Structure 1
């Protein structure tokens, strides 16, 4: 998983995209469903699980720590070990490219009396883990990381761990989730104070599995999340809705390729994740929500998206936590819009799989887009709907979202856009190219 041969791919101007597709399951919910099922007593069943490299890394890690996980007839069956029952893994846990797996599993291990070594690929090994190391160390975990708080790192858990109250210094669902997962096996009450709300999949799913978790919100919108430790989780049957971060690429593709009319089935629309749809609609995007419903405790709908003349806007930085992973593809939409799009408050993008602000700015300039990079965002002057120049080779930096964003840009370019290595896309969206091809028939 950590050594892949580069697979370049060129993406060219597209015929109108037409048809209906179903996207892979939500990655965030897939990770959490495996982890919590592995801590429940009894058998949980999961359908719609995203079967990309990132989620499979989580499955392999939970197996290594004692859970029984098997895939049968499209359904995943997990026999858990119970909270407190994780076993010492015999070998290092290979996280591949998955920052979510790494940070959340560090939280799980932190309050168990075991030692685990976390390793990953070159991209993941360059990402700092300090924002998770700090709170978990305060709970008693002994963490030895590589320089800069990076992988490889070794974590010695403490049981019983020390309950505490932690105010998130930056908006991060992964840090919040790591602390809550550590709190599962910590006696007493662990509190996370969240000044800026982030995706709440962990809270929803922990409550669904029977954890004693409460959320209070004050007048300023600050959330106080409390979890009572030494929990007993009950097995669940889970249906994973479609991943809005994966849907994002096809939403933008349909908006920018003339003549397109695409329906994307069963997209998760958790309000902490649906910021991109709101922003694109504000830009004039024709996105209709059909058959709104609840799937596995999460809001979902079918999205019908039709080609639209987008207009540049100033994107409110307050919406960033609800669409942080979707900014790369939003930048592509902005490149085809009429007028200027301004984004700010995106410091978080500099510590993702790559420095997504710098990488997107460089790549967009290479295909003819007027871009100005600031410390915490991009300013993009759009083409007014005219095709982009294209004709460049783009370095994806082993970042799946960068690769897919420029693949979509190629669909609205005069000359092909070549991605230096499309292989990282498999971490989150194994059938991305096949679905795209199905809409071009």
Structure 2
């Protein structure tokens, strides 16, 4: 286990900051392109995260051809031949999205596929997508990794609970081109992370899908995937609050490279809203809580589902703030955070809990007061350039 020691940095603005490509967009485009008979070039400016690379390696094992260059990845699909049975276990690394999408894709095949990941991913719950696949006639060995999926799935109706994650719905939609028949998904629960399934339906539509989201019942019909010649990837704007935190800690302005629209939640965070609802953006909880702590304080709500991420992000965020001499109280669905706090150097190394967003938030705080962060390499899951970019601000 590595550690990174960061001494307090004296930063003056403007701070130039770039964001990596959106891993959610890239993974979805790769999944559909791999099922097509065509070729698409995905363009971007910064290095994609390790989660994206994990999906790329798995798709290669299924027969897709992926050429990775500095500013573009070119994906050629398997066409009418379909996916081949992988000769070894599909390793999803740290990516829950990759694992759930691959489970649904394996359900469209007739051979048993084994799926695994790192220690952190092995602790995450796969029961929702596993239950959906079992209801449709597949054999799924376990509700956590490592597991096996044996298809093919059968036509039928099942229930998808959207109250903890929307990934099962996205997985079934994006794997549908290789399904032997249509399936019907009845959605229940107060949906969270709605932007992600909306993204899935939009990208699928851009690739020829006639499936449209319905609040109650979704009939998912297979289709022949068609892909454009090239697509520009938006940036990973869920990492923007970490750059905002660095800016606020040092009282320095930011110069940002952003490719995409800024979400209303991030706008609310920038304007120091007293209540921040993370129903659809629970990934922001760590840096958002730190920003509120050094600002006017406030309350985070709607984030109960963040407990099922790479770490229990409600509990780990409280841990992080307290390690830096600040405070917050966990609630049922979020945090109560006093304002006007200042971070102080931790007396012990900060445990990143194998959570890239927790680790990056810890490093941002350490840039102000100093500190040692464990497993810094986990940042590469979403942003391989984060550490050199942060340390380079002091040059």
User: Match for 1:380 among 331, 337, 353?
Assistant: 337
Query: CA offset at residue 29 of structure 1?
Result: 0.5
Question: For residues 242-293 of structure 1, what are the alpha-carbon distances to aligned partners after superposition, in whole Å with 9 as ceiling and x for unaligned?
Answer: 11122231122223321x11121233327xxx2431321331xxxxxxxxxx
More helix by share: 2
Give a deviation string over 1:199-218, Cα, whole Å, max 9, x none.
Answer: 222111111111122234xx
Deviation at 1:169, TM superposition (A): 4.1
Structure 2 Cα separation of the partners of residues 96 and 136 of structure 1: 22
How far apart in 2 are the matches of 1:370 and 1:171? 26
**Residue in structure 1 matched with residue 168 of structure 2 by the alignment:** 175
Report what 1:25 is aligned to: 21
2:357 pairs with 1:401: yes
Query: Partner of 2:213 in structure 1?
Result: 215
C-alpha displacement of 1:17:
4.1
1:47-90 Cα deviation digits (max 9, x unpaired): 11853221111001001011111124632111101377111100
Q: Evaluate the alpha carbon distance shift between residue 173 and residue 82 of structure 1 in structure 2; reply closer, same or farther with a 3 A threshold.
A: farther
| Cα distance in 2 for residues equivalent to 1:410 and 1:73 | 30
Q: Which residue of 1 aligns with 2:200?
A: 202
Q: CA deviation at 1:193?
A: 3.3
| Of 21-30 and 64-73, the range deviating more from structure 2 | 64-73
- Tell me the residue number matched to 2:235: 242
Question: 2:221 & 2:86 partners in 1: Cα distance?
Answer: 26
Q: Distance in 1 between matches of 2:10 and 2:135?
A: 53
Which runs of structure 2 are paired with 1:39-438 in the superposition (5 Å)?
39-48=35-44, 51-72=48-69, 74-82=71-79, 85-145=82-142, 149-159=143-153, 161-164=154-157, 166-186=159-179, 187-188=181-182, 190-191=184-185, 193=187, 195-196=190-191, 197-199=194-196, 200-216=198-214, 222=215, 225-229=218-222, 231-236=223-228, 237-258=230-251, 260-269=252-261, 274-283=263-272, 313-316=274-277, 319-321=278-280, 323-338=281-296, 340-383=297-340, 387-392=342-347, 393-413=349-369, 416-438=370-392
Change (3 A) 1:192 1:267: farther
Summarize deviations over 1:14-45 as a string: whole Å, max 9, x none: 41342433311001001111111101112111
Structure 2 counterpart SS, 1:412 = helix
**Cα-Cα RMSD:** 2.3
The 8 Å contact of residues 210 and 232 in structure 1, kept in 2 or not, is answered as yes
TM-score normalized by the length of structure 2: 0.91
TM-score, length of structure 1 as denominator length: 0.82
1:34 corresponds to 2:30: yes
Query: Against the structure 1 CA distance between its residues 37 and 407, is the aligned structure 2 distance closer, same or farther, given a 3 Å change threshold?
Result: same
Q: Which runs of 4+ in 1 moved over 6 A?
A: none
Distance 1:395 1:130 in 2: 28
Q: 1:175 to 1:21 in 2, by over 3 A?
A: same
Preserved CA contact (<8 Å) 1:26 1:243: yes
Provide the C-alpha distance between the structure 2 equivalents of 1:401 and 1:360, rounded to a whole number of angstroms: 10
Confirm or deny: 8 A CA contact 2:9 2:394 kept in the other structure: no
Matched-pair contact (CA < 8 Å) for 2:92–2:116: yes
Decide which structure has greater strand share. 1
Structure 2's unaligned 5+ residue stretches are none
The CA distance in 2 between the partners of 1:224 and 1:119, in whole Å, is: 31
Q: Which deviates more from structure 2 when the two are superposed, residues 421-430 or residues 12-21?
A: 12-21
Contact 1:82 1:232 in 2 (8 A): no
Structure-1 separation of matches of 2:389 and 2:357: 16
Distance of 2:186 and 2:20 partners within structure 1: 31
Secondary structure in structure 1 of the residue aligned to 2:279: helix
CA distance in 2, matches of 1:23, 1:315: 23
Q: Is the 8 A contact 2:301 2:335 kept in 1?
A: yes
